[in-house]
Copies of this chain bind each other. A is one copy, B any other.
Amino acid sequence: MTEKLLLRVLQGEPVTRVPVWLMRQAGRYLPEYRATRSQAGSFLDLCFNPELAEEVTLQPIRRYGFDGAILFSDILIVPFGLGQPVRFEEGKGPILEPIEDASGLSRLDFESFELKVSGIYETVRRVRSSLPQETTLIGFAGAPWTVATYMIEGGSSKDFAKTKAFAYRDPAGFSQLIDILVEATGQYLFGQIEAGADCVKLFDSWAGALSESHFESIVIEPTRRLVTMLREKYPDVPVIGFPRGAGANYTEFVARTGVDAVAIDTNVPLAWASEHLQTRLPLQGNLDPIALIAGGDALDTEVDRILEGLANGPHIFNLGHGILPSTPLENVERLVRRIRDHRS
């Protein structure tokens, strides 16, 4: 039986304390990250430099001893691997050459996918060999819907108007894109698992923007297919789903996708989550990243509320959204200590 605490929770094994890691734990709030970042050219250069990407993946583990190390990478590696031009501009976010409609799908190229993304697998292998043996290595990818929004909008978006309009007006063409993404994302996660990931997480950051019918067809259904692909090949590797902002749709997501665990965003009420979700699977979450910036008593109160609210079932402590660059280092220290000292 594994001594990896986080993996044990995901596999339904008993544990003596709540494991913790933080979304975006390798990132701009860490001075050592900013130092390493300055050694790389573009953001994608950093993602595809296995030595530097290994270093930034390990930095938060060295500093805080988190129970999980998440691969340092980006959800846009999949469109990049499919040949869509992707770049990151400082302060502007990602910029892609947008796919306007189904005819644009012919520009995607699956042939060279594995070659293009192989640098990421090398990072996973390196992290695997240098990570403390009690630390769970988390691979990840963006979920098809969220990745599709970037591919179609050409970057970030407020209302996903182009993506949704595509899906409403040409459901068959849109399904083709989703099918390509399911396939590529599955391959990509296979590669990460073969390279040493203990579990994988699917980030569906914009799941909350969808109507119930689109949530069903563009979030639940493709996620279910991805989980099935992964389960068939790697039955022991847990999959964490994160349909951020899904609200009351979280129950359907949990009931029907087959994920092994679900991450809940900051908005999700604990008694409801405990009753409707945690009775089925482990929950991960859901501290407000701004409470971590605020620190002090407010932070302690929120941490305790979450630890107690989710004490009736398996729980991995995390934020409800990524850690913000302005987070004081000592507040992260305080958070980790408080979770470690907690005994329910």
Distance (Å) between the CB of A264 and the closest chain B CB? 10
A-B residue pairs in contact (CB < 8 Å), sample of 28: A160-B290, A161-B293, A161-B324, A165-B290, A168-B290, A168-B294, A168-B298, A208-B208, A209-B266, A209-B267, A210-B266, A210-B267, A211-B287, A211-B302, A212-B267, A212-B269, A213-B301, A213-B305, A214-B288, A215-B267, A245-B245, A247-B267, A247-B268, A248-B248, A248-B250, A248-B269, A248-B272, A251-B272
> Contacts A290-B164, A294-B168 hold; do A268 and B212 have CB atoms under 8 A apart?
yes
Query: Is there contact, CB below 8 Å, between B291 and A245?
Result: no
Provide the A219-248 mask, 1 if CB < 8 A to any CB of B, else 0.
000000000000000000000000001111
The answer, yes or no, to whether A252 is at the interface (CB within 8 Å) is yes
Q: Which residues does A use to contact B, with CB under 8 Å?
A: 159-161, 164-165, 168-169, 171, 208-215, 245-252, 266-270, 272-273, 276, 286-291, 293-294, 296, 298-299, 301-302, 305, 320-321, 324, 326
Q: Give every chain B residue within 8 A of A301 (Cβ-Cβ).
A: 213
Query: Is there contact, CB below 8 Å, between A267 and B159?
Result: no
From B165, B247, B296, give the contact of A294 (CB < 8 A).
Answer: B165
Query: Is there contact, CB below 8 Å, between A288 and B249?
Result: no
Query: Is there contact, CB below 8 Å, between A291 and B159?
Result: no
Complex CA gap A294/B166 in Å reads 8
Distance (Å) between the CB of A243 and the closest chain B CB? 10
From B165, B208, B270, B326, give the contact of A245 (CB < 8 A).
Answer: B208
Q: Give every chain B residue within 8 A of A160 (Cβ-Cβ).
A: 290
Q: Chain B CB within 10 Å — which of A210, A211, A251 has the most? A: A211
Q: Chain B CB within 10 Å — which of A212, A246, A291, A326 has the most? A: A212
Distance (Å) between the CB of A294 and the closest chain B CB? 4
Complex CA gap A245/B321 in Å reads 15
Query: Is there contact, CB below 8 Å, between A211 and B291?
Result: yes
From B164, B245, B250, give the contact of A288 (CB < 8 A).
Answer: B164
4 more contacts with CB within 8 A, not counting A208-B208, A211-B266, A212-B268, are A164-B288, A165-B290, A168-B290, A252-B269
Q: Give every chain B residue within 8 A of A289 (Cβ-Cβ).
A: 159
Complex CA gap A248/B214 in Å reads 19
Query: Is there contact, CB below 8 Å, between B169 and A298?
Result: yes
Distance (Å) between the CB of A6 and the closest chain B CB? 23
> Contacts A245-B245, A267-B245 hold; do A159 and B290 have CB atoms under 8 A apart?
yes
Closest 4 CB pairs of A and B: A247-B247, A168-B294, A168-B298, A164-B290
Query: Is there contact, CB below 8 Å, between A288 and B324?
Result: no
Query: Is there contact, CB below 8 Å, between A168 and B291?
Result: yes
Complex CA gap A249/B214 in Å reads 21
Distance (Å) between the CB of A307 and the closest chain B CB? 14
Complex CA gap A268/B214 in Å reads 12
Shortest Cβ distance from A162 into B: residue? B290
